Structure 1
């Protein structure tokens, strides 16, 4: 029997969490993953303000309680004073995966020179991968297109669920196959 993968989607935004505007970024992540994945998966969506402790608690909840194999955050990765998502991510992770942020910034530089201001990162908590994405829906897709091919294999290495992708949309890289 195939296990349904649980994937956390965490939007970090003062204004969206206060209801000032609709969260388009979280929806963009869900829409993108729906295109990418052919295996069964369930989004676990949450929205929090730009408060380090709230972000940390929600990341812990998504990994430890909801058992998400992957948590993708959006927002709070820039240089603004309230942008604290990378610090919150690092605080809850056992090990960091800097290659994800490096690749996302490199990819984003093809589109905007301000990509160097982004502080996206990724890390591992237990058997889960947490990835920080920027807050703009178009940048979310650009970044996910760049890093997602490595994500299913990373989840495999952590003995998580097998994420099967639609090869017409995105090709997961798994050595030897």
Structure 2
């Protein structure tokens, strides 16, 4: 059974101090927007904000609790630099972690670069929303989302109470 992606909304949240000040162009965010739009998902939100835990937490909570965004992809802030705080902010927001998604992204990335072991991104659920942390570079975001695209619609369907069998399709 093919799940209609058009029934799901999504948002992309880019964490970049320079990007939020207009000093660097966000390329990973627009790539993710185009990819999901092309697959039929309905864009509901997009923002570029500084790498600050409070702003990340507030935005994610607003997008989930108030705007009811079904899928949120974050990009940036998942590495080991002192300013990389996205996973910590995420941990304060989500109610259930989905470790398999992050493990799959790192495993696939490790085939391309030994630096994949430095990625600290996580994935999880808050309410009826799925939130996934992706790396900030367009190349890494592109490679990481490709790993998850085949399971996104099914995951969103299940999070919203769908009863389809995970072993089918």
Match of 2:69 in 1: 68
**Mapped contact 1:30–1:43 kept (Cα < 8 A):** no
1:3-82 matches, cutoff 5 A: 4-35=7-38, 37-38=39-40, 41-82=42-83
**Mapped contact 2:13–2:49 kept (Cα < 8 A):** yes
Q: Distance in 2 between matches of 1:160 and 1:28?
A: 29
**Mapped contact 2:27–2:138 kept (Cα < 8 A):** yes
Match of 2:107 in 1: 106
SS in 2 for 1:33: helix
Q: Distance in 2 between matches of 1:41 and 1:114?
A: 33
Match of 2:94 in 1: 93
- Residues 26-83 of structure 1, C-alpha deviation per residue, up to 9 Å, x if partnerless? 1011122133x13x51241011101001000000011111111000000000000110
User: TM-score normalised to the size of structure 2?
Assistant: 0.89
**Mapped contact 1:4–1:42 kept (Cα < 8 A):** no
**Mapped contact 2:101–2:148 kept (Cα < 8 A):** yes
**Mapped contact 1:7–1:41 kept (Cα < 8 A):** yes
Runs of 5+ unmatched residues, structure 2: none
1:138-177 matches, cutoff 5 A: 138-159=139-160, 175-177=167-169
1:128-143 matches, cutoff 5 A: 128-143=129-144
SS in 1 for 2:106: helix
**Mapped contact 2:37–2:43 kept (Cα < 8 A):** no
The size of the alignment, in residue pairs, is: 163
- CA RMSD in angstroms comes to 2.0
User: TM-score normalised to the size of structure 1?
Assistant: 0.86
Q: CA deviation at 1:160?
A: 7.0
Query: Which consecutive segments of 4 or more residues in structure 1 shift more than 2 A?
Result: 2-5, 173-177
Runs of 5+ unmatched residues, structure 1: 162-172
Q: Distance in 2 between matches of 1:107 and 1:60?
A: 29
**Mapped contact 1:86–1:119 kept (Cα < 8 A):** yes
Q: CA deviation at 1:115?
A: 0.6
Deviates more, 1:106-115 or 1:151-160: 151-160
